[in-house]
Amino acid sequence: MTTTYVALMPDYMDPLVLIGYFGTWALVGLLLVVFIESGILFPVLPGDSLLFVAGMLAAGTATQGTANFQLWQLLVFIPIAAVAGSQIGYWIGRGIGTSMFKPDARFLKQKYLDEAHVFFEQRGPFAVVLARFVPIVRTLVPITAGAARMNYAVFTLYNIVGALIWGIGLTLLGYWLGQFEIIQKLLEPILVAIVLASIAPIMLEWYKRRRAAKNAIAAEQTT
């Protein structure tokens, strides 16, 4: 395997490297990452690519240190960790709001929260499900929902649905595709593609807002 992907991302963003760090505690470490990224104020962690690689490891087609996942463990515990993280994120938002986000912060950047707020406002409760597939947004939407006082029962329902679709779906995808030799050989570009596909909604939203702002300025200048 080449090192292109590793060069593009810091070590903690590379799922293979990250899993290798955990050693014999790989399953616990993976669940901890899912838990944190699901709403515990650290939005820059691998999510989609991590589940995909975990599925491949469970299929026995990718090796990383002493990681030894059983598929049933991933399918049961990943959704639980994802739901728990988002539930806590909701109560963080409901309890202390969003005042901890600052424009110049290293991780809790105000612009991240603004994007999550727009995402939530445009899609309503279903944003809780869709956010699972968008890095950074999946961490901040639960906090935004809590700060907006979204009905807790409604949030919990959508949170569970999103966690099941995301956690089980991506893991099974990695498990199934990992059984093909060509996928094993192309793992690195596949991981890059997953990351790019994940951030595409954010980039599209940014482009639409930027274009709208330019149109508004042009309209003002013509009046």
| Tens-digit pLDDT profile for residues 2-22 | 444 444 555 555 677 778 788
Q: Are 162 and 155 in contact (CB under 8 A)?
A: no
Whole-number Å distance between alpha carbons of 206 and 89: 24
pLDDT for res 202: 56
User: pLDDT for 35-73, tens place per residue?
Assistant: 988 888 765 666 778 888 888 888 875 555 556 778 999
**pLDDT at residue 199 tops 60:** no
pLDDT of residue 13: 59
pLDDT at 186 over 80: no
CA distances from 213 to 137, 202, 209, 220 (A): 22, 16, 6, 11
Per the CB < 8 A criterion, the answer to whether 157 and 88 are in contact is: no
What pLDDT, in 10s, does the model give residues 94-129? Answer: 888 777 767 776 666 677 677 777 777 777 788 889
| pTM score, whole prediction | 0.72
Separation CA 134–CA 29 (nearest Å) = 21
pLDDT at 136: 78
Q: Higher pLDDT residue, 183 or 210?
A: 210
Kindly state the tokens that stand for 147: 């700060």
Find where tokens 């409901």 sit.
94
* CA 117 – CA 99 distance, rounded (Å): 14
Q: Determine the pLDDT at residue 167.
A: 94
Sign, CA dihedral 54-58-59-63, equals: positive
For 98-151, the DSSP string reads: TTT-BTT-SSSBHHHHHHHHHHHHHHGGGHHHHGGGSTTHHHHHHHHHHHTT--
- With tokens 């603004």, the residue in question is 114
Q: What is the mean pLDDT of residues 175-195?
A: 65
